[in-house]
C-alpha cells in the first residue's frame, strides 16, 4: 500500500518559489491501477518520481508497505528501486548496446542474482511477447518493442509496484494498445500500477483516475472498466 501524506515539492527558480506539488495526499491500495493525469506541469511526474525515490519531497511523507521512504538508507533505497518498484518511462531508458536479454537481466544482476537467470528473463520477455527478440540489440528494436522490453525489465524482479511515466508517449496507437494491454495483464496478475499520462484514453483504462492541476489533486474517481475486463 502506498500512502502519500501532505506531500509538497518546491522548486526555487530565481526569487520565486514554484510548487510542483502542494500538500498532496493520496492512498493507493495494493493491486490498484491508478492513472495520474493532468496538464503538463501539473505535478504528476514529480509525484511519480518521489514515489520511485528518484526525487525527494520538500515536505510530507510517502510510505510504501509501511516504510517511510524518507527514512530509507542508501542501500535500502537501491533495494526499493530494484525489488519493490519497477519503472517504465516514456523514453524507455534501455541500454542501447545491450541485447534485449541483457537489458532485462540487469535488475537481477544488480540484485545479486548472477547465476542462470534465463528462467525469469524469458518469462518476463514471454509476458511482453518478445522472447524471440532476446538476442537482438535494444537499439535495433522499434519504439513499441523497446517499451515492451522496458516493461519486461520492470517486472523481471517481480516488484509489487509498477511506476509508469507516460509509457505510451512515444508510441503509435497500435503499440500503445499493446503496452496498455500488458499493463492491464500485470494489473490482473496483482501488481499495483501507478501510471502517469496525459492521454485520456489511456487513463480511462485504469480503474482509478487521479487528476492533478497546479500541484494539487483536483479529482480522484473510479472508472467504469469495460474494455479491459
Of these, 12, 13, 66, 74, which contacts other proteins (CB under 8 A)? 74
Stretch that binds other proteins, among 78-86, 166-174, 179-187, 193-201 (CB under 8 A): 78-86
Beta-carbon contacts of 115 under 8 Å, excluding residues fewer than 6 positions away, are none
Q: How far is the CB of 81 from other proteins (least distance, A)?
A: 4
Q: What does the alpha-carbon distance between residue 19 and residue 8 come to, in Å, rounded to a whole number?
A: 7
Under rule CB under 8 A, residue 89 binds other proteins: yes
With contacts defined by CB under 8 A, how many residues of the chain interact with other proteins?
A: 32
Site string for other proteins, 96-115 (x = CB under 8 A): -xx---x---xx-xxxx-x-
67-68 and 192-196: which strand pairing? unpaired
Q: What does the alpha-carbon distance between residue 223 and residue 220 come to, in Å, rounded to a whole number?
A: 10
Question: 187 by DSSP, 3-state: which?
Answer: helix
Cell numbers representing residue 130 in the block: 518478445
Q: Which residues bind other proteins (CB under 8 A)?
A: 45-46, 49, 52, 54-56, 74-75, 78-83, 87, 89, 91, 93, 95, 97-98, 102, 106-107, 109-112, 114, 153, 157
Amino acid at each position: 500500500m502506498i500512502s502519500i501524506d501532505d506531500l509538497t515539492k518546491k522548486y526555487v527558480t530565481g526569487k520565486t518559489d514554484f510548487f510542483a506539488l502542494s500538500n498532496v495526499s493520496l492512498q493507493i491500495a495494493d493491486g490498484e491501477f491508478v492513472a495520474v493525469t493532468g496538464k503538463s506541469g501539473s505535478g504528476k511526474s514529480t509525484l511519480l518520481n518521489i514515489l520511485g525515490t528518484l526525487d525527494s519531497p520538500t515536505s510530507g511523507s510517502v510510505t510504501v508497505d509501511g516504510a517511510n521512504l524518507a527514512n530509507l538508507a542508501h542501500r535500502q533505497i537501491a533495494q526499493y528501486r530494484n525489488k519493490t518498484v519497477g519503472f517504465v518511462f516514456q523514453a524507455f531508458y534501455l541500454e542501447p548496446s545491450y541485447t534485449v536479454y541483457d537489458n532485462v537481466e540487469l535488475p537481477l544482476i544488480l540484485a545479486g542474482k548472477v547465476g542462470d537467470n534465463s528462467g525469469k528473463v524469458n518469462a518476463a520477455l514471454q509476458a511482453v511477447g518478445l522472447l524471440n527478440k532476446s538476442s537482438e540489440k535494444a537499439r535495433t528494436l522499434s519504439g513499441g518493442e523497446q517499451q515492451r522490453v522496458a516493461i519486461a525489465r520492470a517486472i523481471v524482479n517481480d516488484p509489487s509496484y509498477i511506476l509508469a511515466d507516460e509509457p505510451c508517449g512515444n508510441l503509435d496507437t497500435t503499440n500503445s494498445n499493446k503496452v496498455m494491454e500488458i499493463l492491464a495483464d500485470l494489473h490482473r496478475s496483482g501488481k499495483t500500477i501507478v501510471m502517469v499520462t496525459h492521454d485520456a484514453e489511456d487513463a480511462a483504462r485504469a480503474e482509478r483516475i487521479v487528476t492533478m492541476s497546479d500541484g494539487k489533486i483536483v479529482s480522484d474517481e473510479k472508472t467504469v472498466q469495460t474494455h479491459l475486463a
